A and B are shown apart, each in its own frame.
Chain A
Amino acid sequence: MIEARLLTKVFHDRKRGEIRGADQVSFRVEPGRIYGLLGANGAGKTTTLRMLGTLLRPTSGTAIVAGHDVAREPDRVRANIGFLAASTALYARLTAREMIAYFGRLNGMSEHALRARIGVLSQELDMGEFLDRRCDKLSTGMKQKTSIARTIVHDPQVLMFDEPTLGLDVMTARAIVKFVRDCRGRGKTVIYSTHVMSEAEKLCDVIGIIHGGALRAEGTLAELQARTGESDLEECFVKIVAQEASR
């Protein structure tokens, strides 16, 4: 489970002064559910996810992830999450197997458990053909599969995806979306950040619209449609953001 409580992150920039990357963001995601964080570029999605993933320390507020406080037990939080973002790349000079094994070891897995897990993941993600090929020689799709395997090698309870389909071709993006859906099927708690409306529409049980660092609206697709009187998620999004801007 994920529970964000008034998560706030303030950055200080010499030229622009104080910037609120996230402003009192609160939401809750139950196991077996996908929470979509929908927002434009720079809206605060990555900052929020980085705080949940303990990469950034909240300026104020906190979050409980898989039963652990992000500020007080960051190592325990990281042991229970899988974090996949467009910015989380692979080590070019390692093979796919070495990459997965490295992160398995960093997650404290034994060599025996790791071997078995790599076997399972290789079969599930159909990686057998390229498992021992260096990551810099892999196609985009193969890289993405390797990234997924790296993310879930320790079988985490919570999965965080930060724009995972950014820059990917349609087929690879579809594979990712399918994988995220499978995670829900396995009872995982999933948070999925995106600015692609169609993905949010197809995938998310609950959608949170984030703009200017703050969560502006939250609900199921039907609830957001009812609130705005629009049938299309994109129109819902634009209307909510415009309403907030006019306040």
Chain B
Amino acid sequence: MNWRTIGTVYSKELKDTLRDRRTLISMIVVPTLFMPGLIFGMGKIATVVVSKAKEEVPRIMVIGGADSPGVRAELAKTGKFRVEPASADWKALISDKKVRAAVEIPEGFEKALDLGSAPKITLYDYQGELKSGFATEQLRDFFTGLRDRATSRLLADRGVPASLAHPFDVDQVNVAPPEKVGGNLLGGIVPYFIIFLCLIGAMYPAMDLTAGEKERGTMETLLCCPAARTDIVLGKFFMVLTGSLFAVMSSLASLAVTLLLVTSSIKSGAKGAAAANLPSIDPLGILGVLAMILPVAVLFSAVLFSVSLFAKSLKEAQSYLTPMTFVVIVPVAIGVLPGIDLNLRLALVPILNISLVCKEMLSGVWHWGYIGVIFGSTALYATAALALCVRMFRSEGVLFRT
């Protein structure tokens, strides 16, 4: 191995890549804008959608209850609902979102309520539909309030203190530090995007430096020089790795800046309590993720490089690499699922192991044994992939494939 030659190839590829708009987009622009875009963009959309849904006065329908005028009148008086006249096709109306929810008041409800033995109230909603959910929530609040008031009244009539029906309260207090709460909240989602961006960052340079060179005819020019094939492939490989790591660094840096901006803007807005509840990430966790992502980046870069090298053109390389994103997304997505915990067997499954360990590290859990196994096994897979890369680059059947 000649490090001077490797350096020459690497610096040429870096210069070439930095002049290529498409690679810059996949390596820097997308990863940098991805996290802020996701946090601000999705957050903004979610806030707008939810507040709009909450602002709406839901149309509801009361089924039955003709002999309970008091309850009906009280319901209408709240001003929280627009009570529509009852209709036989109320289920279809809920499905068509013309009515958000319906409540069925059984016969003799009001009379039975006065006696303390009212039958069951049934609420109908369209599960999974936000506005229907809010309407049902408000209906439930109304009827819970009605029940509590009736209970208090009945107990008072019998000379029993109302507290008897409500002897104690249950309170919940969080003892986890904010970074652990943040780790748990973001720990699942951050590795997902980091691993994905690690792949995306390597993808375009891998294609451009192999299949792209074959297509443009520069590969043959390069192979005519006396540099050893191993030195050429390593110089190119380091550039692909740079692309991958740069994408990860950019996204982590932009994530950190985004969280800082969000925190400071909320704090300056005198929303101290909200700021205290904001998810924050343990900086050590971020460093841990960076360390673990290194062998993954080598693995991705080597695999993408080998696959692209086999292709004759950029188009062919693209058709090979696109399915690879799914191959990566599936184990990462499994790692994000709640209830999947790291064990020795999963620690050997590539990509899934990284997703799980990153989730743990970001929430402040450090299983050093597993971390060692995962780093070692991923480094081993990465070495094998890199060896394949070098071997393929020496194969004339691959380089001059027709």
Contact = CB atoms under 8 A, between A and B. Distances in A.
Interface of A: 50, 53, 55-57, 75-76, 78-79, 81, 83, 85, 87-94, 98, 102-103, 105-108, 150
Contact of B217 (A88, A93, A102): A88
B115 interface: no
Contacts of B218: 88-91
A102 B224 CA distance: 13
A103 B232 CA distance: 12
Interface of B: 5, 8-9, 12, 15-16, 19-20, 216-218, 220-228, 396, 399-400
A37 to B, nearest CB: 17
A56 B226 contact: no
Contacts of A108: 226
A130 B224 CA distance: 24
Nearest to A82: B224
Cβ-closest 5 pairs across A and B: A89-B217, A79-B226, A78-B226, A83-B224, A88-B221
Contacts of A76: 226
B227 A56 contact: no
B223 A87 contact: no
B15 A94 contact: yes
Contacts, number: 65
A106 B227 contact: yes
B61 to A, nearest CB: 67
Contacts of B222: 106
A107 B224 CA distance: 10
Contacts of A92: 216
B230 to A, nearest CB: 11
A57 B229 CA distance: 14
B397 to A, nearest CB: 9
Nearest to A77: B226
A147 B17 CA distance: 21
A107 B226 contact: yes
Contacts of B20: 93
Which one of A85, A92, A106 has the highest number of Cβ atoms from chain B below 10 Å of its Cβ? Answer: A106
B11 to A, nearest CB: 9
B44 to A, nearest CB: 38
Contact of B225 (A57, A78, A90): A78
A67 to B, nearest CB: 14
Given A94-B16, A107-B225, A102 B220 contact: no
B228 to A, nearest CB: 6
A106 B8 contact: yes
25 contacts: A50-B400, A55-B220, A55-B399, A55-B400, A56-B400, A76-B226, A78-B224, A78-B225, A88-B220, A88-B221, A88-B224, A89-B216, A89-B218, A89-B220, A89-B221, A93-B16, A93-B19, A94-B16, A98-B15, A102-B8, A106-B5, A106-B9, A106-B222, A107-B225, A150-B221
A89 B222 CA distance: 9
Contacts of A106: 5, 8-9, 222, 225-227
Contacts of B8: 102, 105-106
A14 to B, nearest CB: 12
Contacts of A57: 396
